[in-house]
Amino acid sequence: MSAATTAKAPTGVWTLRARGFREFARKFARRSDGVLGFVILVFFTIMAIAPQLFVGALESAITASGDGLGPPSMTHILGTDELGRDMLNLTIHGARVSMVIGLLATVITVVVGAVIGIVSGFVGGLTDSSLMRLTDFFLVLPTFVLAIILAPIILDMIGVDAEVAGLRATLVVIVIVIGITSWASTARIIRSQTLSVKERMFVDRARVIGSGNGHIMIKHVLPNVMNLIVANTVLVFAGAVFTETTLAFIGLGDPFLPSWGQLLYAAEAAGAPGLGAWWLIAPPAICVVLVILGFTLMGNALDDILNPKSGVRR
Amino acid sequence: MGGTYLLRRLVQATLTILGIVVLNFFLFRMMPGSPERILLRNPHLTQATVDAARARWGLDEPVPVQLVKYLAATAQGDLGYSFQYRGQPVGEVIGNRMWPTIILVGIAEVIAIIFGLALGAYSGWKRGGNVDKVGNGVSLVLYSMPYFVIGMPLIIIFAAELGWFPTSGMLTPGATYASPMDQLLDFLHHLVLPLLTVSLGLIGGYSILMRSAIIETRTEDYVTTAKAKGLSENRIVRHHAFPNALLPTVTIIAINLGYVVAGVLTAEIIFNWPGLGTLTYQALSVRDFPVLQGVFLILSIAVVMANLGADLLYGVLDPRVRT
Amino acid sequence: MRSPLRARSARILASAGLVGALLLPAAGPASAADPVVLRVGVTQTLDSVNPYGTALVVGYEVFGLTYDLLVGFGSDAEPAPGFADKWERAADGKSWTFHIRKGMTWSDGTPATSADACFSYQINLDAIAAGENVGLGYIDPSVAAAGVTKAECPDAETMILTSSDPSERILQNYVPILPKHIWGDKTYKQIGEATFDAPQVGSGPYQLVEWKTGEYVKFERNKSYWGKQGAADQVIIQFFGSADTLVQALKAGEIDYARGATAAQFDALKTEPNIVTVAGEANGWTQLGFNTYGTGTGKTIPKGGPSTKALQDAAFRDALGYAIDKDELLKRIHLGYGVVGTTPVPPVLSQFHTDPNDIRTFDLAVADQKLTAAGYVKDASGARLDKEGKAISLTLVFPNDDDTYAKAAQFIQGWFKEIGIKVTPVPYESGALVDVMLPPEADPTKTADYDMFIWGWSGSPDPSILLEIFTCAAIGGSSDSLYCDTKYDDMYAKQNTLGVTERKVVLDELQQYWYDQAPYHILYYDANLHAYRTDKFAGWQNQPKSGTPLFAYGTENYTLLTLASEASPSPEASAAPSAGSSAGSSAAPATPAPTGSGGGSSTSSDNTLLLVGVVVVVAVVVVGLVLSRRRRGSAEEDDE
Model pLDDT, residue C9: 43
Q: Element (H or E) spanning C148, and its range? A: strand C148-155
Q: What is the pLDDT of residues C564-581, one digit of tens each?
A: 887 554 444 333 333 333
Q: Quick one: angle between helices A143-158 and B2-30, nearest 10?
A: 40
- Which ranges of C437-485 does DSSP label H, i.e. alpha helix? 464-467
Rounded Cα distance, B57 and B37, in Å: 12
Name the least confident of B192-196, C231-235, C630-634.
C630-634
pTM over 0.90: no
Name the least confident of B36-45, B128-137, C287-296, C359-368.
B36-45
Q: Where along chain A do its domains lie? A: 28-54+79-306
Q: What is the pLDDT of residues C523-582, one digit of tens each?
A: 999 999 999 999 999 999 998 888 999 998 889 999 999 998 875 544 443 333 333 333
Q: Amino acid identity, residue A159?
A: G
| Window B:172-231, CB contacts with A under 8 Å | 215-216, 218-220
- Taking the Cβ of residue A133 and every Cβ of chain B, the question of whether any pair is shorter than 8 Å is answered with no
Model pLDDT, residue C550: 93
pLDDT confidence bin for C69, thresholds 50/70/90: very high
Rounded Cα distance, C527 and B173, in Å: 27
Model pLDDT, residue C4: 42
Average pLDDT over residues C290-301: 90
Q: Min CA distance, B180 vs chain A (Å)?
A: 31
- Taking the Cβ of residue A169 and every Cβ of chain B, the question of whether any pair is shorter than 8 Å is answered with no
- Taking the Cβ of residue B155 and every Cβ of chain A, the question of whether any pair is shorter than 8 Å is answered with yes
* Contact call for residues A140 and B20 (beta carbons, < 8 A): yes
Average pLDDT over residues B87-112: 87
Rounded Cα distance, A105 and C583, in Å: 69
Average pLDDT over residues B68-90: 86
Q: Which residues of A204-214 are buried (b: 16+ CB within 10 A; e: fewer)?
A: eebeeeeeeee
Model pLDDT, residue A39: 92
pLDDT confidence bin for A206, thresholds 50/70/90: low
Q: Which of C177, C200, C208 is nearest to C112 (CA)?
A: C177
Q: What is the pLDDT of residues C419-435, one digit of tens each?
A: 999 999 999 988 889 88
C234 chain-B contacts, CB cut-off 8 A: 174
Model pLDDT, residue B321: 52
- Taking the Cβ of residue A151 and every Cβ of chain C, the question of whether any pair is shorter than 8 Å is answered with yes
- Taking the Cβ of residue C431 and every Cβ of chain A, the question of whether any pair is shorter than 8 Å is answered with yes
The answer to whether the CB atoms of A256 and C432 lie below 8 A apart is no
Rounded Cα distance, C494 and C488, in Å: 10
| Window A:294-313, CB contacts with B under 8 Å | 296-297, 309-311, 313
Instruction: For the beta carbon of residue C629, count every other beta carbon within 10 angstroms.
Output: 14
- Taking the Cβ of residue B303 and every Cβ of chain A, the question of whether any pair is shorter than 8 Å is answered with yes
* Contact call for residues C310 and C290 (beta carbons, < 8 A): no
Rounded Cα distance, A87 and A82, in Å: 10
Average pLDDT over residues B3-22: 84
- Give the phi and the psi of residue C235 in degrees, each rounded to 5: -125, 135
Close Cβ partners of A257 (under 8 Å, ≥ 6 residues apart): A58, A93, A97, A167, A168, A171
Whether the predicted pLDDT of B236 surpasses 60: yes
Choose the mutation target among C270, C362, C429, C438 for the interface with A, i.e. most A CBs under 10 Å: C429
Q: What is the pLDDT of residues C14-36, one digit of tens each?
A: 444 443 334 333 334 444 457 89
Tell me how far apart the 2 most distant CA atoms of chain B are, in Å: 85
- Taking the Cβ of residue A269 and every Cβ of chain B, the question of whether any pair is shorter than 8 Å is answered with no
- Strands (DSSP E) contained in C385-451 are 393-399, 422-428
Whether the predicted pLDDT of A2 surpasses 50: no
Model pLDDT, residue C578: 33
Q: Which residues of B65-74 are buried (b: 16+ CB within 10 A; e: fewer)?
A: ebbeebeeeb
* Contact call for residues B274 and B97 (beta carbons, < 8 A): yes
CA dist list (Å): C384 to A38, B176, C376, C427: 48, 65, 6, 24
For B234, the closest of C3, C436, C616 (CB atoms) is C3
Name the least confident of A87-96, B259-268, C183-192.
B259-268
* Contact call for residues C328 and C411 (beta carbons, < 8 A): yes
Q: Which chains touch A (3 or more CB pairs under 8 A)?
A: B, C
Q: Amino acid identity, residue B112?
A: A
* Contact call for residues A28 and A34 (beta carbons, < 8 A): yes
Q: What is the pLDDT of residues A90-123, one digit of tens each?
A: 999 999 999 999 999 999 999 999 999 988 888 8
Q: Min CA distance, C424 vs chain A (Å)?
A: 7
| Window C:322-341, CB contacts with A under 8 Å | 332-333, 335
> What does the DSSP 8-state code read for residue C543?
B
Whether a cis peptide bond, with omega within 30° of 0, leads into C199 is yes
Judged by phi (left if over 0) then psi (alpha if -120 to 50, else beta), residue B30 lies in alpha
* Contact call for residues B198 and B108 (beta carbons, < 8 A): yes
B115 chain-C contacts, CB cut-off 8 A: 12
Whether the predicted pLDDT of B127 surpasses 80: no
Whether the predicted pLDDT of C11 surpasses 50: no
The answer to whether the CB atoms of A60 and C414 lie below 8 A apart is yes
Helix, strand or coil for residue C239?
strand
* Cα three-residue angle A110-A116-B22, rounded to 5 degrees: 100
Model pLDDT, residue B254: 67
CA dist list (Å): B195 to B94, B274, C357: 21, 14, 60
Model pLDDT, residue A309: 58
- Give the phi and the psi of residue A180 in degrees, each rounded to 5: -60, -40
pLDDT confidence bin for C297, thresholds 50/70/90: confident
Whether the predicted pLDDT of A250 surpasses 70: yes
Rounded Cα distance, A196 and A179, in Å: 26
Where does A28-54+79-306 sit in CATH, by number?
1.10.3720.10
pLDDT confidence bin for B96, thresholds 50/70/90: confident
Q: Which residues pair with C176 in a beta bridge?
A: C69
C136 chain-B contacts, CB cut-off 8 A: 39-40, 42, 49, 53
Average pLDDT over residues C169-192: 92
Nearest-by-CA chain C residue for A258: C406
* Cα three-residue angle B136-B137-B139, rounded to 5 degrees: 60
Model pLDDT, residue A104: 95
What sign results for the dihedral spanned by CA atoms C298, C303, C305, C307? positive
Q: What is the pLDDT of residues A3-60, one digit of tens each?
A: 444 444 545 556 666 777 777 788 888 778 888 889 999 999 999 998 888 888 888 8
Instruction: For the beta carbon of residue B10, count every other beta carbon within 10 angstroms.
Output: 12
The answer to whether the CB atoms of B114 and C626 lie below 8 A apart is yes
Whether the predicted pLDDT of B121 surpasses 50: yes
Nearest-by-CA chain B residue for A299: B140
**What percent of chain B clears pLDDT 70, i.e. is strictly above it?**
88
Helix, strand or coil for residue A148?
helix
Nearest-by-CA chain A residue for B259: A140
Higher pLDDT, residue B220 or A23: A23
Close Cβ partners of A45 (under 8 Å, ≥ 6 residues apart): A99
| Window C:403-462, CB contacts with B under 8 Å | 429-436, 438, 442, 457
Starting at the edge strand that comes first in sequence, how are the strands of the sheet with C158-163 ordered? C84-89, C95-100, C158-163, C148-155
pLDDT confidence bin for B266, thresholds 50/70/90: confident
Most confident of A213-217, B54-58, C108-112, C623-627: C108-112
| Window C:254-313, CB contacts with A under 8 Å | 261-262, 264-265, 268
Average pLDDT over residues C95-117: 93
Average pLDDT over residues C609-638: 44
pLDDT confidence bin for C600, thresholds 50/70/90: very low
B270 chain-A contacts, CB cut-off 8 A: 268, 273
pLDDT confidence bin for C470, thresholds 50/70/90: very high
Helix, strand or coil for residue B267?
helix
- Give the phi and the psi of residue A198 in degrees, each rounded to 5: -55, -35
Name the least confident of A258-272, B47-61, C301-315, C399-413.
B47-61
Q: Element (H or E) spanning C453, and its range? A: strand C452-458
Average pLDDT over residues A256-278: 88
Close Cβ partners of B200 (under 8 Å, ≥ 6 residues apart): B142, B145, B150
- Taking the Cβ of residue A173 and every Cβ of chain B, the question of whether any pair is shorter than 8 Å is answered with no
pLDDT mean across residues, chain B: 81
Model pLDDT, residue A209: 66
Whether the predicted pLDDT of B262 surpasses 90: no
C243 chain-A contacts, CB cut-off 8 A: 271
